[in-house]
Structure 1
Amino acid sequence: MIKTIYLAGGCFWGLQKLMKEIKGVVHTTAGYANGSGEEDAEYQKVCSGRTGFRETVRVDYDPAEVDLAALLHMFFYVIDLEAVNQQGNDVGSQYQSGIYYDAADKEAEETVLQLSAIEQERYPHFAVEIKPIENFFDAEDYHQDYLDKNPGGYCHISPKKMEEARAMLVNPGDYRRPGNPEEIKEKLSKEQYHVTQENGTEPPFKNAYWDHFEKGIYVDVVTGEPLFSSYDKFNSSCGWPAFSQPIEELSMVQKRDRSFGMVRTEVRSRAGNSHLGHVFRGEMESPNGVRYCINSAALRFVPFDKMEEEGYGYLKGIFK
């Protein structure tokens, strides 16, 4: 059964192209959502900013191939979640970001509200509209699949992110965070809870994985979402597990951290919003100059020989 979600993320040219790259999306339509009425659903009127319409992409997807959580996480990955009436260089109320869902689809509503709540924890000035869909009108023909017709056309979403959408390997919908905070507390040790939920840091050289190099993957201790592999782990003098890159950049949320009088880049997990550690660049010990310095307490190791048994067999190919 095909399902539908409506996503507004700035100029609909780029967002339509991005969504088309995701396996399981069966059709996309650029259009205008939640505005004054059909008589005003015309590009020049919408650009006036007085119609209430948002440039929106209707995304029809097959939930047997891709779930809504994956689409929403990709959407959050490419937009500025705190921008009001703006995305990239585009300014105006028609560029306000939003997620619009069918009010009759309670499962979709629950997913939208749950994942939006996680993003609101990450971004105190979260500005994405979350509403039921009221109306939607197709945009003019020349707007449909614009970047396919005009490959060099303007797009506020980078080619790198387009490629990441096309190559997305890990489905975050398979690794949902428990809805009840008490479930998380019961699941974790005191140290794991302190690190992942209270932004703590464990002692260097006195943690499980700083000098651990067995073949396998490291997953979020809260959700089980795969984050890093032993293939990208390197020997670092810092005293914490060090990785040159994650399994997928998509699984990382990076935020500016000004705590303790320093300016660093914090790393959090995508699906669980667990505090993982920090990422540093210009590192001499790293093969690519990048060091993801991660707390062992935020991770659980899955040996290569156990990956199939634990449901991670689809990732074995990264070791070839």
Structure 2
Amino acid sequence: MKKKLMIFLVLSLLLVSGCSSSDESSDSEKKKTDMEKMDFSDEPENVIYLAGGCFWGIEKLMQSIPGVIDTESGYANGTGSSDAHYNIVTSGKTGFKETVRVEYDPEKVSLDALLLAYFYVIDPTVSNQQGNDKGTQYQTGIYYTNDKAKETVERIAAVEKGRNDDFAVEIKPLINYYPAEEYHQNYLKKNPNGYCHIPREEIKLFSKLKIDPGDYSKPAAETIRDKLTQEPYHITQENGTEKPFQNEFWDQFEKGIYVDIVTGEPLFSSSDKFESSCGWPAFTKPIEAPAIIEKKDSRFGMRRTEVRSRSGDSHLGHVFTNDPESPNGVRYCINSASLRFIPYAKMKSEGYGYLLYLFD
């Protein structure tokens, strides 16, 4: 009798346990499914999510840009989980990326500026890696939550894709996001000498910039074609080169600035222009370093460094080092037809008054 009672109790416990287990599993699966896609409809328009390798560096970069209101490190666009945390994410099996939520004041800084700063410091050609960090959690990505941000993100991504033979950055809507542990938040503020895969010089650079690329967006292809005459179009859009000594600005030294003929983005100042025997306009440096994008150029059997404009992706020319005629050894050799000159006297009336300080 006791033996039968014992068997009955065990079977009862197994049945109860099995039912409980089944219910828990069902609840867990339902919870996982529910968490796979969150509702971000209440998220403000002035928020973007950036995955760019270790979130400590991306967070610090964004914090350095005037106009950024708030940042938060977290994990985004992984498999459903109500408890995404560092130990799980670093397993490499969840698909979550170390991501920074960035809230900004659009009156002070554009989304264009934030995205182009992001692209300036990452390598967009590799998957699951940035710097020395490897793993799925370091996959690059830009995640948006509204149509306005989507338009800007896709426009900037199209420019960046055009600059690179390979493009590995995810461009997607935000599916889910979980804040990281407290010790990850403001990590480099709390640990100034802590690990950062972004050079400190670049982070510092973005804290001082005056030119907002959002003011100089690249027009549509047909607009560019209609706007430019044959030679400027060939040079900026088809990587052409004009003849030396037979171009507009090679021997001009009037006070003023030189802007991208396509977008109007300020690129060079007459203060940094020097006399060169090359036959093209020569500058020691751009007004702001991030306004110029450098690319390896192996065309025509040569190994050179091409320079292009940041917002418009216009072909400008090449940059050379160890130039004996340059005051600092650097020569930005630029096609005149890729530039428009704004005389000092007209800078304010043409909307460039904020750069008059260059001539103080």
Aligned 8 A contact 1:5 1:101 in 2: yes
Aligned to 1:16: 59
Aligned to 2:280: 240
What is the rounded CA distance, in whole Å, between the counterparts of 1:19 and 1:168 in structure 2?
Answer: 13
Map 1:7-86 to 2 at 5 A. 7-86=50-129
What is the rounded CA distance, in whole Å, between the counterparts of 1:106 and 1:307 in structure 2?
Answer: 35
1:269 aligns with 2:320: no
Deviates more, 1:29-38 or 1:237-246: 29-38
Deviations 1:122-177 (A, max 9, x none): 11211100000011110000000001111111100001111111011100000011
Amino acid aligned to 2:235: V
Aligned 8 A contact 1:2 1:61 in 2: no
Deviations 1:95-145 (A, max 9, x none): 00000000xx21111000011001111112111000000111100000000
Aligned to 1:140: 181
Aligned 8 A contact 1:283 1:290 in 2: yes
Amino acid aligned to 1:34: N
Deviates more, 1:89-98 or 1:34-43: 34-43
| Pairwise CA distance, 1:305 | 0.4
Aligned 8 A contact 2:68 2:109 in 1: yes
Amino acid aligned to 1:157: I
Q: State which of 104, 119, 137 in structure 2 corresponds to 1:94.
A: 137
TM-score by length of 1: 0.98
Choose between structure 1 and 2: higher helix proportion. Answer: 2
Unaligned runs of 5+ in 2: 1-43
Map 1:211-230 to 2 at 5 A. 211-230=251-270
Percent identity of equivalent pairs: 62
Deviations 1:21-45 (A, max 9, x none): 0111000000000112334511011
Say what the alpha-carbon RMSD is for the aligned residues.
0.9
| Pairwise CA distance, 1:83 | 1.1
What is the rounded CA distance, in whole Å, between the counterparts of 1:284 and 1:160 in structure 2?
Answer: 27
Structure 1 residue runs of 4+, over 2 Å off? Answer: 37-40
Aligned 8 A contact 2:61 2:203 in 1: yes
Aligned to 1:166: 207
Aligned 8 A contact 1:2 1:62 in 2: no
What is the rounded CA distance, in whole Å, between the counterparts of 1:213 and 1:120 in structure 2?
Answer: 36
Give the number of equivalent residue pairs.
317
Aligned 8 A contact 2:45 2:149 in 1: no
Secondary structure at the aligned position of 1:142 is classed as helix
Amino acid aligned to 1:48: S
Aligned to 1:249: 289
What is the rounded CA distance, in whole Å, between the counterparts of 1:198 and 1:210 in structure 2?
Answer: 21
Unaligned runs of 5+ in 1: none
What is the rounded CA distance, in whole Å, between the counterparts of 2:140 and 2:83 in structure 1?
Answer: 19
Aligned to 2:7: none
Aligned 8 A contact 1:98 1:129 in 2: yes
Aligned 8 A contact 1:40 1:46 in 2: no
What is the rounded CA distance, in whole Å, between the counterparts of 1:178 and 1:38 in structure 2?
Answer: 42
Aligned to 1:149: 190
| Pairwise CA distance, 1:307 | 0.2
Secondary structure at the aligned position of 1:38 is classed as coil
TM-score by length of 2: 0.87
Aligned 8 A contact 2:259 2:342 in 1: yes
Secondary structure at the aligned position of 2:331 is classed as strand
What is the rounded CA distance, in whole Å, between the counterparts of 1:74 and 1:94 in structure 2?
Answer: 21
Amino acid aligned to 1:268: R
Amino acid aligned to 2:103: D
Aligned to 1:106: 147
Secondary structure at the aligned position of 2:207 is classed as helix
What is the rounded CA distance, in whole Å, between the counterparts of 1:163 and 1:17 in structure 2?
Answer: 10
Amino acid aligned to 2:254: E
Aligned to 1:121: 162
Secondary structure at the aligned position of 1:167 is classed as coil
Larger of the two Rg values belongs to structure: 2
Deviations 1:266-314 (A, max 9, x none): 0000000000000000011001000000000000000000000000000
What is the rounded CA distance, in whole Å, between the counterparts of 2:358 and 2:180 in structure 1?
Answer: 41
What is the rounded CA distance, in whole Å, between the counterparts of 1:3 and 1:256 in structure 2?
Answer: 35
1:283 aligns with 2:323: yes
Aligned to 2:240: 200
What is the rounded CA distance, in whole Å, between the counterparts of 2:82 and 2:195 in structure 1?
Answer: 28
Aligned 8 A contact 1:2 1:63 in 2: no
